[in-house]
A and B are shown apart, each in its own frame.
Chain A
Amino acid sequence: MTQATAPSARALWRLLLVACLLAPAWVGAAPPQRIVSLVPGLTESLCALGACARLVGTDRYSNWPSEVQALPKLGGLDDAQVERIAALRPDLVLAAPSARAVQRLEALGLRVIVLHTRSHQDVRHNLLRLGAELGDEARAQQVWRQIEAQMAEAAARVPAALRGRSVYFEVESSPYAAGPTSFIGETLVQLGLNNIVPAALGPFPKLSPEFVVRAQPELVIAEARNLQDMAQRPGWAALRALQRQRLCSFPTERYEVLVRPGPRMGLAALQLADCLAAIGKDQGMDAR
């Protein structure tokens, strides 16, 4: 260093020193190193943000990505095993609202963040929030942009002839359907499909089978095992979608991707779009 730069070097060191002292104030506490996630969607979000290695335990339903499967499973949200969670000494626990475990863990001095995971907005909000916690907001923004790109791509892949058609997405065989206000319902809307379930019925209404048959959805999407005997249900053989095989059947693993609110939602949309594209190609798309 020459004489001229010495004072500026000193100033620089001072600045750095001050910055380091102030760092805790504007960065907040150090980013969490040991995280427990009790919500599968949040587990996936953490891994999407590259923090998979920081996970020390998850709930029993978190199963993606594969690294997560080896982690200790700590029960569900409603029967979380408090002792095992505490024994892992996490510095952050992720949970959903109205879980009894939240109060108990907070009483034990653990830091708990409660996040909703019901809509597309929630996923975005959670990604950004987790990104901020991990000190890597840029990455979070990047992940979300990628999801948005995937959604746009999926919307583009849906054949024009299928846009605006009515769809019935079955969640349970009773039958429970996914309404447009549910997470998967929002994806379907983004793909340009009309839900036979009106929004006023809520996210997962239990429909009367007659309603579905009379609504005559042009597309039916369900888990493979529910689709297997759907035609045997009384009156359901009349569904034109079943007769003409305008179906999207998903085995359990791929079905889970569809209904889980998390960073794979773009992937889910692409899965659906691919299925719809296949239907469009097979059927040549005659008039409604």
Chain B
Amino acid sequence: MQRRRRRLLWALAAASGVLMLAGLAAGGDGWSWAGFTQLLQGPDAGLIVGQIRAPRTLGAWLTGALLGLAGAVAQGLFRNPLADPFLLGSASGASLAVVAVLAAGTLGAQGLGPPAAGMLSRVGLVAAAFAGALGGVLLTLMLARGAQHTLRLLLAGVVVGVVLTAVSDLLTLAAPEALRGRQVFMLGSTGFLGWDSCLMLGSGLVLALPMAQRLSRTLDALVLGEDSARSLGLALPQLRLALICLLAAATGLAVSQAGLVAFVGLAAPHLVRRYAPGPHGYTLLASAAAGAVLLLAADVAARTLIAPQELPVGVLTAVFGGTYLLLLLNRQSPS
């Protein structure tokens, strides 16, 4: 068992290395090793490889790691293998915030008032998405009156998701120019990740991973059921709140930089459980690594499949992740 777990981590590390090299070589002209070596020798190397491809590749890896971690936390917290990081209203909150910023101009003319609209349009899309994600989760927590009951949390999350999506739809009715931007956000995009994004994502990951490790035993104890976990001396409401904050922060950070990338948070923990199941102390770390590899692979594919055009990365993660889950479903024994 230990050997399998170690092997999986090594495999993910190797895959990361290979894909990062691929990410440096893949670009606007598709995949060509000759083109890459030529580029490296040319004057544009610093700009194209150093300033664009390198941070984008690293950023995709970091975003995937955050989403994988968040997905594992969500699945452990709700003891449901279908849970994903967007459960508690973070996706709809971020999407609403993005639409609000995109529609700021029209909203200003229609009752919001020019000064408020001006402020709104100056807020960056990144900051708005992050605030929106956290806001969505906060709304869910308020509706569920704290992190007391898992079922209430889930229901509140669904309600908040539906309501915020409806408000977002209303905004796009009033300001149809926000529709395209919204669609791009919902499909996810790694195209705008620079070194500053990497710094934010990296710091977030560096803070989130140890915190997740410390809380991992809570997730293990939850396997026994909530009452048993409480009887083991765990202050469940507070620990659950801490896990939800971790979930919200990791998801919010990932979503603000790369949009609503589907399936990474859902599929990464499944991948880990399939090959090397274990206690959450291991699963959280491995899910982060698996998510990172998944999103990075999707990013490289997005850039090279129909070059010089780019596919939205969310489409590819859905294809990869969805196919993988489909295979899992087929292989599952009837027990």
- Are A and B in contact, CB atoms below 8 Å, in the complex? yes
- A-side interface residues toward B, CB under 8 Å? 72, 75-84, 86-87, 89, 97-98, 100-101, 103-104, 107-108, 116, 118, 172, 176, 181, 202-206
The 4 A-B residue pairs whose C-beta atoms are closest, nearest first, are: A84-B28, A78-B184, A78-B181, A104-B192
Q: Tell me which residues across on chain B come within 8 A of A87, comparing CB atoms.
A: 27-28, 44, 48
How many pairs of A and B residues are in contact by the CB < 8 Å rule? 85
Asked if A84 meets B194 with Cβ closer than 8 Å, knowing A79-B184, A202-B110, the reply is: no
Provide the B118-135 mask, 1 if CB < 8 A to any CB of A, else 0. Answer: 000100111000000000
Contact flag A97-B121 (CB < 8 Å), given A87-B28, A108-B47: yes
**A81 to chain B: which residues have CB within 8 Å?**
28, 191, 308, 310
Name the B residues within 8 Å of A83 (CB-CB). Answer: 27-28, 48, 52-53, 56, 191
C-alpha spacing A79/B309, complex, angstroms: 11
Seed contacts A98-B181, A204-B175; 15 additional CB < 8 Å A-B pairs: A76-B184, A78-B184, A79-B184, A79-B189, A79-B310, A81-B310, A82-B52, A82-B191, A83-B27, A86-B48, A86-B51, A87-B27, A107-B194, A176-B176, A202-B110
Q: Which residue of B lies closest to A172 (CB)?
A: B176
B51 touches A98 (CB 8 A): no
Distance in angstroms from A66 CB to nearest chain B CB is 21
Contact of A86 with B52 at beta-carbon distance under 8 Å, contacts A75-B310, A98-B104 already known: yes
Rounded to whole Å, the gap between the CB of B67 and the closest CB of chain A is: 19
| Whole-angstrom CA separation of A108 from B175 in the bound complex | 31
Q: Does B101 contact A (CB under 8 A)?
A: yes
Contact check: which of A97, A100, A176 meets B192 at CB < 8 Å? Answer: A100
A204 to B56, CA, bound (A): 37
Count residues on chain B whose CB falls below 8 Å from chain A CBs.
38
B162 interface residue, CB < 8 Å from A?
no
**What residues of B have a CB within 8 angstroms of the CB of A204 in the complex?**
175-176
B192 and A108 contact, CB distance less than 8 A? no
Chain B residue at minimal CB-CB distance from A118: B105
A204 to B181, CA, bound (A): 17
Are B308 and A203 in contact, with the CB atoms below 8 A?
no
| 22 CB < 8 A contacts A-B | A72-B308, A75-B310, A78-B185, A81-B28, A81-B308, A83-B28, A83-B48, A83-B56, A84-B28, A86-B51, A86-B52, A87-B48, A89-B44, A100-B124, A100-B125, A103-B126, A108-B194, A172-B176, A202-B106, A202-B110, A202-B174, A202-B175
* Nearest CB of B to A104, in Å: 5
Q: Which residues of A contact B191 (CB under 8 A)?
A: 79-83, 104
Q: Chain B: which residue is nearest A108 at the CB level?
A: B51
A71 vs chain B, min Cβ distance (A)? 12
Give bound CA distance, A97 to B105, whole Å.
Answer: 9
The interface residues of chain A lying within 8 Å CB-to-CB of B183 are: 78
Closest residue of B by beta carbon distance from A110: B47
- Residues of chain A within 8 A of B28, CB atoms compared: 81, 83-84, 87
* Complex interface bits, B35-75 against A, C-beta within 8 A gives 1, otherwise 0: 00000000010011001110010000000000000000000
CB-nearest residue of chain B relative to A201? B110
Taking CB atoms and an 8 Å cut-off, the chain B residues in 160-208 that contact chain A are 173-176, 180-181, 183-185, 189, 191-192, 194, 196
The residues of A that contact B192 with a CB separation of less than 8 Å are: 82, 100-101, 103-104
B123 to nearest A CB, angstroms?
A: 9
